[in-house]
Amino acid sequence: MKNKMFCYQCQETAGGKGCTVSGVCGKKPDVAGMQDLLIYVTKGLSTVTTQLRKEKKSVDKTVNHLVTMNLFTTITNANFDKEALSRRVEATLDKKTELLMQVTDASSLPEAAFWRGEPDEFETKAASVGVLETENEDIRSLRELITYGLKGLAAYTKHANALLRDNEDVDAFIQSTLAKTLDDSLSMEDLIALTMETGKYGVQGMAELDTANTDRYGHPEITTVDIGVRKNPGILISGHDLKDLEMLLEQTVGTGVDVYTHSEMLPAQYYPAFKKYPHFAGNYGNAWWKQREEFEKFHGPILMTTNCVVPPLASYRDRLWTTGATGVPGIRHIDGKYGETKDFSPMIEQAKTCEAPEELETGTLVGGFAHEQVFALADKVVDAVRSGAIRKFVVMAGCDGRMKSRDYYREFAQKLPKDVVILTAGCAKYKYNKLPLGDIDGIPRVLDAGQCNDSYSLALIALKLQEIFGLQDINDLPIVFNIAWYEQKAVIVLLALLYLGVKNIHLGPTLPAFLSENVTKVLVENFGISGIGTVDEDLTKLIGNA
């Protein structure tokens, strides 16, 4: 029986192999098809822009923004709106047609550069441009690994762009690499090299975003965050985009409405610039996948600035709002160009009519250990390592998800010996950030650097420690990697770490379905990548005995 769809880009893919009937994420076959088509036409556009650059012609940054936003909308749990995706396909086809006219030599361009179609032809075309069209399993695997890494890189690039920071090298690389995933002349070796290069640009993209965020909002600092509620009505902001948060905070000044952070917005609490708002309240809830029950209890509007969006329950549908790359059919979307102020007033007016949030829990969280804060504590950390008070660091950054097997990460954190410190970033932290793990000489045992993109901070911290200890190899540091992944930003973080030379990364709770046997072999042989075992086995393997 022919598949209704095929997608295997996230960790929860059906049977660990691929979603063929309906997406576990909730996306239906028609949405999956439209996403496949959007990727295809974006790759087609990229062959044209790459040719233009070869001919030394400039490509306007609005085209770069179109490419990155297109990729972002196909990230897991970002956009479920077939009509919105279809409009993106149309806009991309229009831009491609326009740019093709500027190309002098189109003779080497592939079919994807030239294909045009009307919206009523989209569904048919989508069925012929999916993942499985690449027959060779290993070539397919590498094309998809690269494409998903580029999706993650596109997301980080988008957030930098929203802060009016553009990097032409990164954009040119994203587009030329997308074009190469259509090139049948490339061998497995070529694509492996391209995968590593994608990791290199991953580092660059993450550096750009780090600069964009810290230039505008200051460097994250140690902060204690409340996880209870106040008495005013509130708006809950989720996702990763700090520019959206800035605009929301500005527009809610003096309205009597408080702003709370959710999931990956928690690290916004660590930035100095946002602390000046008295109505900036605490963090509400946990990682993305608990949102249905938590959004019900929040009572006020929820703004999704990025993934992860879970298809909403009827009980809070009319309180859910999307912006940026996110979209859900029938859910109100607030748009705005980079550099423009989005109008959140309808959402704020709605908030005023809502009850205050229901309290989920009380207490506090501590975070803010991005690179500058940790460098400021470098002497203390180095002393603790030299004295043996800190025997090891374990990087447990990444994504959280719904599989019960992820309880492994909570148990692993709980069972860690008391002389081990967890370095984290991303929503994987919610498996252990509320555990009473204590501190070592005043250094908390869980050091949260921030959002998943702040894995960049963890890389810088490792490189700094390598320098201080005078080590030749980053892998000689007392740092081990036990990473949880779910979606495509985790893929670019992984590729970035591999590019920086990190070996023996443990990746879980399952390995990606899009890694073929041979590609897995390459990653294992060259980088020592492995999956996870039991908690006790891995504690012995990774931490050893005191």
Partner 1 sequence: MRAHVDQNDCIGCGLCVATAPDIFVMNENGKAQAITETTEKNHQLVREAIEGCPVGAIQEKEHQEENR
Residues that bind partner 1 (CB under 8 A): 4, 12, 14-15, 19, 21-26, 28, 289, 292, 310-311, 313-314, 402-404
CB 4 → partner 1: shortest distance, Å? 8
Nearer to partner 1, 28 or 391 (CB): 28
Nearer to partner 1, 56 or 404 (CB): 404
Dihedral over alpha carbons 271, 416, 452, 260 (to 10 degrees) = -50
Nearer to partner 1, 316 or 499 (CB): 316
**Rounded-to-integer distance, Cα 418 and Cα 512, Å:** 32
**Rounded-to-integer distance, Cα 462 and Cα 470, Å:** 12
| Residue 542: both structure tokens together | 């990774």
CB 26 → partner 1: shortest distance, Å? 6
CB 257 → partner 1: shortest distance, Å? 27
CB 428 → partner 1: shortest distance, Å? 18
CB 383 → partner 1: shortest distance, Å? 45
CB 337 → partner 1: shortest distance, Å? 34
Nearer to partner 1, 395 or 490 (CB): 490
Are the CB atoms for 329 and 81 separated by under 8 Å? Answer: yes
What is the distance of C-alpha 496 from the center of its chain? 13
User: Which whole-number Å values give the CA distances from 27 to 19, 33, 45, 122, 200, in the listed order?
Assistant: 10, 10, 25, 17, 31
User: Which whole-number Å values give the CA distances from 256 to 235, 271, 358, 447, 452, in the listed order?
Assistant: 11, 23, 17, 33, 32
CB 312 → partner 1: shortest distance, Å? 8
Buried b (16+ CB within 10 A) or exposed e, 445-470: bbbbbbbbbbbbbbbbbbebbbeeee
CB 287 → partner 1: shortest distance, Å? 13
The SS3 call for residue 448 is strand
Nearer to partner 1, 15 or 528 (CB): 15
Q: Compute the 3-state secondary structure of the chain and give helix, strand, coil in percent, each to the nearest 5.
A: 50, 10, 40
CB 402 → partner 1: shortest distance, Å? 5
Nearer to partner 1, 288 or 412 (CB): 288
| Residue 221: both structure tokens together | 């600092």
Q: How many other CB atoms sit within 10 Å of the CB of residue 65?
A: 18
Q: How many other CB atoms sit within 10 Å of the CB of residue 351?
A: 24
Q: How many other CB atoms sit within 10 Å of the CB of residue 387?
A: 9
| Residue 217: both structure tokens together | 């909002």
User: Which whole-number Å values give the CA distances from 283 to 296, 315, 392, in the listed order?
Assistant: 16, 22, 29
User: Which whole-number Å values give the CA distances from 375 to 225, 347, 458, in the listed order?
Assistant: 22, 40, 11
Nearer to partner 1, 271 or 289 (CB): 289
CB 25 → partner 1: shortest distance, Å? 7
Nearer to partner 1, 21 or 376 (CB): 21
Nearer to partner 1, 3 or 102 (CB): 3
Nearer to partner 1, 16 or 501 (CB): 16
